[in-house]
Chain A
Amino acid sequence: SQTIHQWPATLVQPVGSPLSLECTVEGTSNPNLYWYRQAAGRGLQLLFYSVGIGQISSEVPQNLSASRPQDRQFILSSKKLLLSDSGFYLCAWSVKGAGYNQPQHFGDGTRLSIL
């Protein structure tokens, strides 16, 4: 069966520090991968998505970046965190093909607090 792992589960970082959040998927190959941010336990904001290694699309201009160095690894990074980067970050994957009618499968998230 497929699983998705995100770490760390919680993170407290000072303003201006760098960030690296990692997400890996097991049990499937060539998935679509996504990074979302959820503020105040409500709506999801799509940050980045990827259809393959090295292919990243950005939805929202900001000081965050994403990379996909391996087929099932997706990394969210920042060189200098802002207070507004606080939130709950969720990684997700979905199967390709089939008319894109497949659901997304989410990790358990990283709660990021910026001090």
Chain B
Amino acid sequence: AQSVAQPEDQVNVAEGNPLTVKCTYSVSGNPYLFWYVQYPNRGLQFLLKYITGDNLVKGSYGFEAEFNKSQTSFHLKKPSALVSDSALYFCAVRDRSGGSYIPTFGRGTSLIVHP
């Protein structure tokens, strides 16, 4: 079975400060991990993914995420937040050895960047 948790419903950060949106996962094998962003009244947009290799993954709009196998985490980070980064962020996991191609999504974290 696969599951993912986003422990924070909301994250508040000041513009220009670094941001972190947390994600932890559970799989029986090795994971494929994804981050998506959703702006109001829009669909989800893919930001980045981890498949294998380098634990630090760089994605769109200056975002990056660090895969930590021992902590089963895949936190999303950005060195300097912009007001335009305010949105809903989703983490998703797919168990590489599970046979299912359907990912499991977290409940989402609302990021609010204050001017």
| A binding-site residues for B, Cβ under 8 Å | 6, 32, 34, 41-44, 46, 49, 90, 92, 94, 99-101, 103-109, 111
Contact = CB atoms under 8 A, between A and B. Distances in A.
Contacts, number: 52
Contacts of B41: 108-109, 111
Contacts of A34: 102
The 9 closest A-B pairs by CB, nearest first: A106-B43, A100-B101, A103-B46, A43-B107, A106-B44, A101-B32, A44-B105, A108-B43, A101-B51
A23 to B, nearest CB: 11
Given A32-B101, A106-B45, A109-B41, A100 B107 contact: no
Given A100-B32, A101-B94, A103-B49, A41 B43 contact: no
B22 to A, nearest CB: 16
A63 to B, nearest CB: 22
Interface in B81-115: 88, 90, 94, 96, 101-103, 105-108
Interface of B: 32, 34, 36, 40-46, 49, 51, 88, 90, 94, 96, 101-103, 105-108
Contacts of B45: 106
Contact of A104 (B40, B103, B106): B103
Contacts of B101: 32, 94, 100
A6 to B, nearest CB: 8
B24 to A, nearest CB: 16
Contacts of A46: 102
Contacts of A101: 32, 49, 51, 94, 96
A28 to B, nearest CB: 15
A44 to B, nearest CB: 5
Nearest to A109: B43
